[in-house]
């Protein structure tokens, strides 16, 4: 077996794929190394839900046989990865991060896992998450069957929720890429806090069959990786129509960086206040430098205002109504009391009381939001703002301890999820040795544009190459 140096764990999917193709390393060697590292170091960050070394090694051996026969599937062949523990993997426990489901087993795979298997990728483990992906509204980072997600850059800081384990695994070199999910910030926040690249796809582009439902009209599954390019490769593998997901958009995605528009042709809307007054004071120099680096790519930065809507209350009403319906059996059984966060228990119980008239009114306003953003994206190709206002918060700090400052693009995460918009978060600097990030948001199915912006930024900077 080849001796793999420590740098292998922070290589990109593209780099690892090239090594496998050149026979510098076998799939089995790579998968063994990552599976061992995940099993050994995952608990250090409360990131590991379920190791799958035996299944992974068997799959890797089959990949090596295919490669030997000349059957090449593409850039993910032989690449190890992990998934958030709300995705079912046949015959294995899927806990949804919550005690009431600690022994839950499904007899089928999530569609995305089957798609990645078809691409030759190898699942090495399931990754921790906030219980029920935050359903009910959690107040504490410790709201998880696995404990609070600890940030690989500083274990006194939070890794972000609810896809905490997925972002941690990539940041700590436990997996080259991982899948997470977002309903309202659960990909963008952990990507920003952990210094990795995270992609929230357009609603309906990636099948959610086999994933825990939190909100039928808001949930999305997307990748975490080291680079925008890697995210594009993974998205191509997992996207596509699926009759088993009634929210499927019926569209495929092909990552085509070779056809990207010139950066100078892109108009990117922004609010200067996001990078000054609304950003944490200590993070402002890093964000100013990131904005300057973004300008260097050639994009046209245009001052823009978001359409004015009560994004938070609208999203909360829709989410509460849908999660109340989804988790009614849990609430009615009394097992909801087994959750770790009292605020979440209370929130789930209260969600049963959302009136139909309030839900329908919120859905009508949501349609107005979608129309308003369609008009906005007739004027700009994308929007850019900070991933979060600053670096990761202390792991013992309640989530409601800091309120977002008004103005600028405040509410863009809720707005983007309500309108089903794709977004890409990527590292753009450091504050007190902790990463901070930018996020770019675009109209539906504009993933190639967002990935091109991310790739151009990463070509001119090296923040994505830093690791704990």
Task: Please name the residues in contact with 190: beta carbons below 8 A apart, sequence gap of 6 or more.
Answer: 149, 159, 160, 161, 163, 164, 166, 167, 168, 180, 198, 224
Phi, psi dihedral angles at 447 (to 5 degrees): -55, -40
- Mean pLDDT: which of 5-9, 68-72, 220-224 is highest? 220-224
Q: Which residue has the higher pLDDT, 1 or 259?
A: 259
- Which residue of the set 19, 84, 115, 220 is catalytic? 84
The yes-or-no verdict on residue 401 having pLDDT over 90 is no
- The domains located in the chain, with CATH, are 7-186 (3.90.1300.10)
pLDDT category at 2 given cuts 50, 70, 90 is low
Q: What SS3 string covers 215-267?
A: CCCCCEEEEEECCHHHHHHHHHHHECCCCCCCCCCCCCCCCCHHHCCCHHHCE
**Structure tokens given for 45:** 């960050």
Each residue of 258-312: pLDDT tens digit?
A: 999 999 999 999 999 999 999 999 999 999 999 999 999 999 999 999 999 999 9
DSSP helix/strand/coil, 202? coil
Please confirm, yes or no, whether 186 is among the known catalytic residues: yes
Phi, psi dihedral angles at 160 (to 5 degrees): 95, 160
pLDDT at residue number 5: 86
Percentage of the residues of the chain whose pLDDT score is greater than 70: 99
164, 222, 328, 338 from 188: Cα distances, Å: 11, 10, 28, 28
- Which residue of the set 128, 159, 164, 186 is catalytic? 186
Average of pLDDT values for 122-127? 98
pLDDT at residue number 162: 98
The yes-or-no verdict on residue 1 having pLDDT over 70 is no
pLDDT at residue number 4: 83
Each residue of 79-117: pLDDT tens digit?
A: 999 999 999 999 999 999 999 999 999 999 999 999 999
Please confirm, yes or no, whether 84 is among the known catalytic residues: yes
DSSP helix/strand/coil, 402? coil
Average of pLDDT values for 346-357? 98
- Rounded to two decimals, the pTM is 0.98
Each residue of 304-316: pLDDT tens digit?
A: 999 999 999 999 9
- Length of the chain (residues): 468
- Which residue of the set 26, 144, 159, 162 is catalytic? 162
Evaluated on CA atoms 179, 183, 187, 190, the torsion sign reads: negative
With CA atoms as reference, report the closest residue to 369 among 232, 255, 203: 203
Quote the CA–CA distance of 135 and 348 in Å, as a whole number: 7
């Amino acid at each position: 077996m080849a001796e793999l140096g420590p740098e292998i764990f922070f290589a990109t999917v593209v780099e690892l794929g090239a090594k496998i193709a050149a026979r510098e390393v076998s799939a089995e060697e790579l998968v063994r190394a990552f599976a061992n590292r995940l099993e050994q170091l995952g608990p250090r960050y409360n990131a590991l839900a379920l190791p799958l070394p035996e299944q992974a090694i068997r799959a890797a051996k089959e990949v090596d046989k295919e490669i030997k026969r000349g059957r090449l599937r593409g850039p993910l062949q032989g690449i190890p990865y992990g998934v958030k523990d709300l995705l079912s993997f046949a015959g294995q426990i899927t806990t949804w991060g919550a005690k009431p489901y600690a022994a839950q087993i499904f007899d089928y795979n999530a569609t995305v896992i089957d798609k990645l298997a078809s691409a030759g990728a190898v699942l090495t483990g399931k990754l921790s998450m906030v219980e029920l992906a935050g359903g009910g509204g959690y107040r504490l980072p410790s709201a998880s069957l696995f404990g609070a997600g600890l940030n690989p850059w500083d274990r006194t800081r939070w890794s972000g929720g609810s896809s905490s384990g997925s972002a941690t695994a990539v940041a700590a070199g436990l997996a080259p890429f991982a899948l997470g999910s977002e309903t309202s910030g659960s990909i963008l926040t952990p990507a920003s806090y952990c210094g990795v690249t995270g992609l929230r796809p357009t609603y309906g582009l990636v099948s959610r069959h086999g994933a825990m439902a939190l909100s039928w009209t808001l949930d999305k599954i997307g990748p975490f990786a080291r680079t925008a390019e890697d995210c594009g490769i993974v998205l191509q593998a997992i996207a596509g129509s699926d009759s088993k997901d009634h929210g499927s958009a019926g569209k495929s995605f092909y990552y085509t960086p070779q056809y990207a528009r010139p950066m100078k042709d892109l108009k990117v809307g922004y609010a200067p206040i996001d990078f000054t007054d609304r950003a944490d004071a200590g993070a402002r120099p890093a964000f100013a430098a990131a904005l300057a680096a973004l300008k260097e790519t050639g994009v046209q930065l245009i001052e823009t205002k978001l359409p004015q809507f009560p994004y938070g209350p609208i999203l909360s009403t829709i989410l509460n109504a849908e999660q109340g319906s989804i988790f009614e059996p849990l609430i009615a059984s009394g097992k909801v009391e087994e959750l770790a966060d009292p605020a979440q228990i209370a929130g789930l119980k209260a969600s049963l009381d959302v009136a139909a008239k309030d839900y329908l009114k919120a859905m009508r306003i949501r349609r107005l939001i979608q129309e308003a953003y369609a008009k906005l994206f007739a004027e700009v190709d994308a929007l850019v703002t900070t991933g979060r206002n600053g670096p990761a918060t202390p792991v013992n700090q309640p989530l409601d301890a800091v309120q977002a400052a008004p103005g600028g693009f405040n509410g863009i995460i809720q707005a983007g999820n309500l309108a089903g918009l794709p977004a890409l978060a990527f590292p753009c600097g450091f504050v007190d040795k902790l990463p901070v990030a930018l996020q770019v948001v675009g109209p539906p199915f504009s993933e190639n544009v967002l990935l091109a912006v991310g790739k151009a930024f990463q070509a001119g900077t090296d923040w994505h190459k830093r690791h704990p």
